Structure 1
C-alpha cells in the first residue's frame, strides 16, 4: 500500500503547553543536565504526568488491577482508522451526533471537534458523553481518539472511560486534527513501552 501524505497529529511537549484543566502539576519539566558550556555532550531530562499531551490510556487508569502499557497488542493502535468531523458539536459528542456517521465494527475512530480550532483545551473542551460512549461500545469499535486532553470532562464516576474500557476499546487523547479532513487513513499511535504504566505518551501519525 502506498501513502502520499504523512500527518503528525500529536501535541508538541513544551513548558507552556495546555494541560488538563490547566493544572500546574501537569506541566512538563525539561531540565538540561549537561550542555556544551560544561562538557562535550548535551543531555536533558524530562518529568511529566503520563496523561500530558498526546497519550494512550490503559484500563488501570480507571480500573483497579486493570491492564497496562506493556500488555498492549500493537495492532490495536497501528491500524486503519476513520476521522469523523464533529465540529458542529456544541458541548459534547453524544449518541445523536455519532448516529449520523458510518461506524462499523472494528473501526478505530478519531473525533475531530472544535477543540482543534479554539483555545478551549484547558477548560470547556468538547468531550464524549456517556450516551456517545455507550453507542460506540455497542458498535464494537477497536478504539477512539479525540482532540481533547481528556475523553470526558468532570463526569460523575468516569462514565465515558468505563463504558469504553469494559469493552477493551483503546482510548487516545490529546490529538491535533485541525488540518485533517474527514475520511479514511492509516493510524500509527504506538505508545512508549513503560512497563506497569496506566498510560504513555504517543507520537500519533496519520498516513493517507
Structure 2
C-alpha cells in the first residue's frame, strides 16, 4: 500500500475560523435509545472551516459555486514546497529552489506547526505576483497551510483576484507539518455544493 498523509486539520467545536465567520456547531437530532436505532447529528458551520476549497463565487459575484467547478484540479500530481518563516508573503524567490518541472498543483508549507487549535492574525499569505508566477508555469491549483491566500486584514483580496483572473483553484487551512518537500499525489475533492462559495475537503497526499 502506498503511504498516505492526512493534511486536513481536525474539525470540531472550537476549531478556529476567520473572525466573524460561522463556527462549527453540532447537535444530536436523534440518539440511540428506546425507539431510536441510530445517532443522527445536525451540523452548522462555515464552508471555510477546516481544510477547504474556495469556489470563484467566494470572491466574485455571479461566479461559479464550488459545486459547479471541475474536479480535475483537485486530484493528481502535486509538489509540496517549504517556505517556513519567510515573513508575511510568499514571494517567487521563495519557490525558485523547487521550480524545475513543476506539476500542476503546488502546496506551500509556511508554518513550523499549523495553528489548528487557535486563530492567528499574522499568518503568511501569497503575494499576488507569486500566483501569477505559478500560473505562468502551468500550475492550476495552489494550497497553503494558513487561513487564506490573502493577509487577514485585506479588503481588496488581491491574491484571490489573481485566482479568479487566472482560473486557479485553491486549498486553504492545510496541515503540512509532517510532509517533506517533494512530489506526491493530491486528493482533495470538494463536495458538490452547487450554491456554496466553498466546501470542506478531506485533503490527503499519497506517495507516487
TM-score (norm 1): 0.89
Distance 1:103 1:127 in 2: 22
The DSSP-based 3-state class of the residue aligned with 1:116 is coil
Deviant stretches of 4+, over 6 Å: none
Over 3 Å counting, the alpha-carbon distance change for 1:140 and 1:146 in structure 2 is: same
Structure-1 separation of matches of 2:33 and 2:133:
57
Determine the C-alpha separation between the residues in 2 that align with 1:80 and 1:179.
Answer: 18
RMSD across aligned positions (CA) = 2.0
CA distance in 2, matches of 1:131, 1:59: 19
Secondary structure of residue in 2 paired with 1:131:
helix
Matched, 1:65 2:66: no
Uncovered stretches (5+) of structure 2, i.e. residues with no partner: none
Query: What does 1:156-175 align with in structure 2 at a 5 Å threshold?
Result: 156-175=155-174
**CA distance 1:107–1:68, change in 2 (3 Å):** same
Structure-1 residue corresponding to 2:23: 27
Q: How does 1:147-158 map to 2 (within 5 A)?
A: 147-153=145-151, 154-158=153-157
Matched pairs, number: 204
- The alpha carbon displacement at 1:40 in A equals 2.6
Q: 1:20-53: CA deviations, max 9, x gaps?
A: 24x4x43111111111246332110101111111
Please give the alpha-carbon distance, in whole angstroms, between the structure 2 residues aligned to 1:103 and 1:170: 21
C-alpha deviation, 1:177, in angstroms: 0.5
Q: Quick check: 1:143 aligned with 2:146?
A: no
Unpaired stretches in structure 1, ≥5 consecutive residues = none
Match of 1:99 in 2: 96
Q: Which residue of 1 aligns with 2:179?
A: 180
**What displacement does 1:103 show?**
5.4
* Conservation of the 8 A alpha-carbon contact between 1:103 and 1:139: no
Task: Give the whole-Å Cα distance in 1 for the aligned partners of 2:149 and 2:112.
Answer: 12
Q: Contact between 2:79 and 2:102, CA under 8 Å: does it hold in 1?
A: no
Query: What TM-score, normalized by structure 2, do the two folds share?
Result: 0.89
Following superposition, the deviation at residue 7 of structure 1 comes to 0.9
Separation (CA, whole Å) in 1 of partners of 2:82 and 2:136: 20
The 2-side partners of 1:172 and 1:203 are apart by 11
Within 2, Cα distance between the matches of 1:20 and 1:104? 35
